[in-house]
Structure 1
Amino acid sequence: MQYPLNEKIGEPALFVGREKEFNSFNKWLGNIPKRLSKSRVIIARRKSGKTAFVQRIFNQLWSDNGAVIPFYFEFGENKMWYPNLAIKYYRIFASQYIAFLTRTQKLVKHPLSLEQIREFGVSEAITPLIDDVDFLIQNKKVGGSHDLMWDLACSAPHRFADLYDQRFLVILDEFQYITQYIYPDQHYKTAPIDTLAGSYHHLSESKIAPMLVTGSYADLLLKIMSKYLEAGRLKQIRFYPYLTKDEGLQAVYQYAQFYEEPITNETAWQINELCMADPFFISCVILNESEGKDLTTSEGVINAVNYEISAKTAEMSQNWAIYIELTVAQVNNLNAKQILLYLSKHNSRYFTPQKLKEELHLELEPNDIYRQLLILKEADLITQGVADIDFRGLEDGTLNLVLRNRFEKEIKTAAPNLKTEFAEEIAKLTHKNRQLQGKLNHYAGKFAEHILATAFRSRKRFALSKFFQNVLDTTPLNLQKVKERVVIQREDGKAMEIDIVAESVCGRVVLVEVKKTQTPIGLTLVEDFQEKVEVYQSHFPDAMVLPAYFSYGGFVDKAHDFCVEHGIGMAEEILEW
């Protein structure tokens, strides 16, 4: 896969999971060429992974080079003059369009100027590009037709799709900012153009260039849609920040590997559980800079998780502070905080103002409670039900932890002891230790190389026979370096990848191949691994190589016999971790 759009997540391999979401969206994408896909809007809080998701969709479509041409534009939190937005929008659209047609990745990262776009239009006889650029240049000046400039720019994907019988996907990230930061005067002295979202009123119904819109502030985005796009024009997709438990554990291993943070298989499980499989929370814990941080022990995990929730300088805490401070500035009283905390704690139920008054023994009248609930809703800290008087806390465990840390002492006079609660949670996990081995074997079928590599790193000395059968050398190893996905080359230049290379201080090197298929592997795959071993040995003739093969689905008889003959260790499950 190619990555012409530089994804905000950074290293592409850090993107983990979202299998369920991709299955749903791939069906939707597959219907775009048939003009059957309705525009969508993804609604999710900040740091929920939605930008990484839509950017991956862009790169997926670009790499497929199929019938759907992706266009990605992000509305920023910076002031911009109206005609400059039109030019920026058109430059990015035209450059991504040309990049797709010519398979030139750099044009996605570095958009062409208007003059270069025009030059391409002339060279390829694409008249609309020439006419559009001429119009934009002529009207940018003060007093020009700025409304028409923007109409030309934002309609470009639909117009080109219609003219050339093509299909586009228009991805508009953080759409809510279009109403807040675009100004009609170049010195920003007047109010921003809050009606600009209406430009997409008819475009949102396009079946040849459907839209995929995202927004981090649900209430604001829904208001914009209701006012300017009409409620039913974009199908709402709620995007939750949490991965599945399987995907969350994979994220822990992936982040720890790339950021070179030592963990053990046991603490990987604990991090995933305490972070509720939230990839942003997991990344914060892996990267946090708390004093004495140690993610190889349960106590270290508890301290790191508590730090991210409790320390105001921690990334996790700061992320939620953006939402919380917005609310506290408007409703800075004990009642509002008590309501917010109570709804967050009981987020599986809807409450009316009267019910809250009764359960919290509030002295406020129901109408006053209702007004404060609306403010909390507008800050995206609670949600409103079908009935206007029904309200519920967000189904977001990380928010509940941050709220408790911030407000519980003020409300209950005693601060929550989150570290004790985390320790109790880990104790429950430890009590279920017998179950963990079975689950670990299940996960081994998904990412055994991470589990094995982590197990190697977490042990000072061990014999390879702890993990693999048929090991000829059972002398304890003293590993000093464990690397994953090491690339070597044959004499003819062909690249070969070894899943795990673990070096011992005594000069021995463990080479491990991992196969995660459900069915037994055959002789050919084992022979291919033996070739890698021989190539590695040729590069490092002084090393004593210990080869081993992990096959989740087992080995056919011929593969098994080959391993015995060549001294290759074998394993079908991870017995030590």
Structure 2
Amino acid sequence: MKKLLRLDKNDRWELEGIEFAIEERVGNPENFIGRVRELEFLYIWADNIRKLISRSIAFLGRRKIGKSLIIERLYNIIYSEHKGLIPFYYEFAEGTRSGREFYHDFLTRFYMQVVGYYTRDITWTRTAADFKTDVDVTVFMEEIASLSVPHKERILTDLNRCIRMMGKDKPLYEYVLAATATPRSFATTPGVREQIVQMIDEFQYLNMYIDAGVEDRPCKAYMSTAEMKVAPLLITGSLMGVVSEELMRWLPHRFDEFIVPKMNDQEAAAMTVNYGMLYGHDITPGTASYIVHVTNNVPGRIVDIVTPKFGKPAISTTEDADRALEFEVGQGTIKSDWDEYLALAMNAVNHVNMRRITYFLCRHEGEWYYPRDLKRALSLELDDSRLREELALLHKYDLIELSGGRYGGVFDRTLKKVLMKHYGDILGLPVKDFDAYFRNDSLLDYLHERVRRLELSLEEAEVLRDTMNVLRGEHNNLKGHYYEREVLLGLIKAIIDGGGGLTEGIPVTDFSYTLSFFLEAGKEIDVVLEGGQVVIMAECKNYAPENLHKITEKMVREFADKARRLMKERFPKKILRLGFFSKHGIEEKL
């Protein structure tokens, strides 16, 4: 099977050969645009599972950054290539479930996907990956009883064990342990040659919503499983701070963490224009650039803004985009998404301080502050330990960033807009001035960014010019040195051939040469060839034809003066012969 991860034109992917074993939430697969680096990285990581060298990884990023879309496409590529790697997708959802319920659900969905992989029947994989559809282990056993499936006996044994275990009253954590061990247990069964790639979506909900009885951190069940090279995990998490903290505390050294970046400008702009056309907007490249800016290149936010809703304007201009943004942060999906993050943090953090700190850092995007700097800038009446606790919680719930002990704003400008829209006390503005400020703030941000990039581009251009001048000089020097060797080889050939002229009287058995013979005054002679009673000194010029005017009589005289000085100092008793060579000739006036 040939490689199916192939980039097409305009940041799109080739789809030929890919069977969509699970539905992708992007909808039409053609609408999946970009994410080149991320998919190529995960594709190589997955391919290395077959070599038993891949470690489990955590693929972390805030909601709407596109994590699930990426792993869904990876799943379908792996399934379609059918090269001995069984993809297993499982999504933890909000809502409390017991460890027993989780065990039944997890094991059943795992084996449904195994059967789907072996039989090439995507009905199994699509049902297993659709978490709005309930699954039943008993019904599943009956349905596969008549199928011809590799390792069917082992599969049925595990399903029967599940049914028996469900009838017992074991501690809830034991069910969690049994569930998480299932994929690696199957992959290590004698005779099973395939490896498993476990794609576990929204990992933070495992601890938040799975009731494991006395064990309040059920993620610990992955302690040994995460190290198994036959079935490594690719987990995602929308609450990056929560997942990162849990991995550090309860699963240390089990996962390599990777932060899913925002889309690059080109990919994000292409996506904006594409969705604009799909939804009937007339989005120009300029408007697309503006939308990309106000969403910080976050793909889900771009879709939120361009998705039509009742009362929301069609988009063609930046003003339309501003009105669509205001709709979304006022009553749309963007508001509801950020409300969840804010609610989690505000359960533990003083509301006023939380809003002020978060807004301040959003407002000063790209700048970083130590706690003492924030305390001074905001005149916070908090002791240092309390301030650090609140900052740690804000970071844990992904409302602010942390780097090297300093805090900064998140890279999603829509959070700032939600704070502005719903917590006007932060701004201290009269109601009548708020709407104008809201709109102008986005445009000013955008223009400021354009100016910054222009200044950066000019600075980069200047650096590039300097670099090019240096490289051009080095290149010209190399060309000159190469021509010097050409001249030297020509002289040596003339000596060997006995052709006379400049080399007349120099014996083949008695000559030596030096390239770039330096004089004490810092000047140099390009070629010095000594033989018998004769010494030849040559100047070599490799000027382009359009620069031959730079070869002047003065240059020739200066060369002759250098040569005579060297002759007097080093070769006083020999005959001096001078040669002035120009690769492309000289002007007639000389």
Compute the TM-score of the two structures, normalised by the length of structure 1. Answer: 0.67
| 2: CA distance, partners of 1:428 / 1:195 | 46
**Residues 208 and 427 (structure 1 numbering): CA distance in 2 closer, same or farther, change over 3 Å?**
closer
- Alignment deviations for residues 206-256 of structure 1 (CA, whole Å, 9 cap, x no partner): 1111100111112221232123211x210001013x211111111112212
One-letter amino acid of the structure 2 residue matched with residue 244 of structure 1 = N
Report the CA distance between 1:14 and its aligned residue: 2.5
Per the alignment, residue 322 of structure 1 pairs with 340
Q: 2:58·2:234 contact (CA, 8 Å) conserved in 1?
A: yes
2-side partners of 1:136 and 1:145: how far apart? 15
1:40 equivalent among 57, 66, 73? 57
Name the structure 2 match of 1:383.
401
Please say if residues 136 and 149 of structure 1, whose CA atoms lie closer than 8 Å, have aligned partners that are also in contact: no
1:277 and 2:305 correspond: no
CA contact (8 A) 1:39 1:234 kept: yes
Which one-letter code corresponds to 2:411 in the other structure? E
Cα RMSD (Å): 3.0
1:301 is aligned, of 321, 346, 349, to 321
Cα distance in 2, alignment partners of residues 92 and 66 from structure 1:
21
Deviations 1:85-132 (Å, cap 9, x if unpaired)?
A: 112111111111111111111111224734237626886563321221
**In structure 2, distance between residues paired with 1:366 and 1:148:** 43
Number of equivalent positions: 421
Q: Provide the C-alpha distance between the structure 2 equivalents of 1:6 and 1:193, rounded to a whole number of angstroms.
A: 34
Q: Does 1:366 align with 2:394?
A: no
Partner of residue 95 from structure 2, selected from 55, 75, 78: 78
2:426 corresponds in structure 1 to 410
Quote the residue 1:99 is aligned against.
116
Q: Which residue of 1 aligns with 2:222?
A: 200
1:54 deviation in Å? 1.2
Equivalent position to 2:409, from 393, 406, 409: 393
Letter in structure 2 aligned against 1:131: T
Counterpart of 1:128? 154
Unaligned 5+ segments in structure 2 are 1-17, 129-136, 455-590
Letter in 1 for 2:177: D
In structure 2, give the amino acid aligned to 1:258: L
Deviations 1:327-384 (A, max 9, x none): 3343344333222222223343443332222222333322232232223223221234
Distance 1:282 1:146, change over 3 A: closer
2:498 maps to: none
Quick one: structure 1 residues 291 and 135, their matched pair in 2 at CA, closer, same or farther if it must change by over 3 Å? closer
TM-score, normalised to structure 2, is: 0.65
Taking the aligned partners of 1:193 and 1:428, their CA distance within structure 2 comes to 51
Sort the Cα spacing of 1:379 and 1:135 in 2 relative to 1 into closer, same or farther, 3 A.
Answer: same
Measured in 1, the distance between the counterparts of 2:180 and 2:100 equals: 12
> Which residue does 1:335 correspond to in 2?
353
What is the CA deviation profile of residues 449-488 of structure 1, one whole-angstrom value per residue up to 9, with x for unaligned ones? xxxxxxxxxxxxxxxxxxxxxxxxxxxxxxxxxxxxxxxx
Q: How many Å apart are 1:9 and its aligned residue?
A: 2.6
Stretches of structure 1 that go unaligned for 5 or more consecutive residues are: 185-190, 435-577
Query: Is the CA contact (8 Å cut-off) linking 1:161 and 1:209 kept in structure 2?
Result: yes
CA distance in 1 between partners of 2:347 and 2:177 (Å) = 38
Distance 1:219 1:271, change over 3 A: closer
One-letter identity of the residue aligned with 1:132 = D
| 1:236 corresponds to | 257
Tell me, in whole angstroms, the C-alpha distance in 1 between the residues paired with 2:389 and 2:450: 46
Farther-moved stretch of structure 1 (32-41 vs 134-143): 134-143
| 1:140 corresponds to | 166
Equivalent residue number for residue 170 of structure 1: 198
User: 1:400-439 counterparts in 2 under 5 A?
Assistant: 400-407=416-423, 409-413=425-429, 415=434, 417-424=437-444
Distance, in Å, in 2 between the alignment partners of 1:276 and 1:339 is 20
**1:86–1:150: 8 Å Cα contact kept in structure 2?**
yes
**Whole-angstrom CA distance in 1 between matches of 2:147 and 2:25:** 31
Give 2:283's match in structure 1, choosing from 254, 263, 269.
Answer: 263
Instruction: Give the C-alpha shift of residue 266 in structure 1.
Output: 4.3
Distance in 2 of aligned mates of 1:75 and 1:45: 16
**Whole-angstrom distance in 2 between the partners of 1:329 and 1:152:** 34
Partner of 1:353: 371
The answer to whether residue 169 in structure 2 is matched with residue 153 in structure 1 is no
In the other structure, the counterpart of 1:22 is: 39
CA contact (8 A) 1:32 1:208 kept: yes
- What letter corresponds to residue 214 of structure 1 in structure 2? T
Distance change >3 Å, CA 408–CA 351, structure 1 → 2: farther
Please say if residues 182 and 193 of structure 1, whose CA atoms lie closer than 8 Å, have aligned partners that are also in contact: no
Structure 1 position 217 matched with structure 2 position 245: no
How far apart, CA to CA, are the structure 2 residues paired with 1:431 and 1:299? Answer: 20
The alpha-carbon distance between structure 1 residues 299 and 171, as it changes in their structure 2 partners (threshold 3 A), is: same
CA contact (8 A) 2:277 2:283 kept: no
Q: Are the equivalent residues in 1 in contact too, given 2:67–2:260 (CA < 8 A)?
A: yes
CA apart distance, 1:179: 1.5
Separation (CA, whole Å) in 2 of partners of 1:364 and 1:118: 63
Deviation at 1:170, TM superposition (A): 0.5
The Cα offsets for residues 482-532 of structure 1, whole Å up to 9 and x where unpaired, read as: xxxxxxxxxxxxxxxxxxxxxxxxxxxxxxxxxxxxxxxxxxxxxxxxxxx
Distance 2:415 2:423 in 1: 12
2:56–2:226 CA contact under 8 A, matched in 1: yes
Tell me the distance in 2 between the aligned counterparts of 1:137 and 1:118.
Answer: 16
Shift of 1:294: 2.8
Of stretches 214-223 and 267-276 in structure 1, the one that deviates more from structure 2 is 267-276
Residue deviations 1:40-90, cap 9 Å, x none?
Answer: 001111122111111111111111112321000111112223222112111
1:112-123 equivalences in 2 (<5 Å): 113-116=139-142, 119=145
Name the residue aligned to 2:10.
Answer: none
**One-letter code aligned to 1:223:** E
* One of 160, 181, 185 as aligned partner of 2:209: 181
> CA offsets, 1:125-157, max 9 Å, x none?
633212212211112114257655543432222
Are the counterparts in 2 of residues 121 and 129 from structure 1 also a CA contact under 8 Å? no
Tell me if the contact between 1:298 and 1:426 (Cα under 8 Å) persists in the aligned partners. Answer: no
Q: 1:292 to 1:86 in 2, by over 3 A?
A: closer
Cα separation, partners in 2 of 1:207 and 1:361, compared to 1, 3 Å: same
**Partners of 1:398 and 1:294 in 2: how far apart?**
19
Per-residue CA deviation, residues 433-461 of structure 1 (Å, 9 max, x unaligned), is: x9xxxxxxxxxxxxxxxxxxxxxxxxxxx
Aligned CA distance change for structure 1 residues 370 and 152 (closer, same or farther; 3 Å):
closer
Q: Is the 8 A contact 1:121 1:127 kept in 2?
A: no
Distance in 2 (CA, whole Å) between partners of 1:265 and 1:384 is 34
Q: Take 1:259 and 1:222, find their aligned partners in 2: how far apart are those partners?
A: 37
Aligned-pair identity (%): 23
Give the whole-Å Cα distance in 2 for the aligned partners of 1:41 and 1:126: 32
